[in-house]
Amino acid sequence: MDRVMLHRNPMGGLVVCDPVGPDYLDDPDREVAVGAGVRLVNVLLRFGVNLEQISADKVCHSCTDVKDAYRISLGVLTVDDTRAMAAQLESFALEFERMRELLCSISARQAGPAEGSV
**Bigger pLDDT: 65 vs 116:** 65
pTM: 0.67
Q: Indicate if the pLDDT at residue 14 is higher than 80.
A: no
**Helix H segments across the chain?**
28-46, 79-111
> Can you give the residue ranges of every domain in the chain?
25-75, 77-110
**Bigger pLDDT: 16 vs 82:** 82
pLDDT, tens digit, 9 for 90 and up, residues 55-96: 999 998 888 888 889 999 999 999 999 999 999 999 999 999
Q: Indicate if the pLDDT at residue 118 is higher than 60.
A: no
Round to whole Å and give the CA distance between 2 and 30: 17
CA distances to 38, 51, 92 from 85, rounded to whole Å, are 18, 9, 11
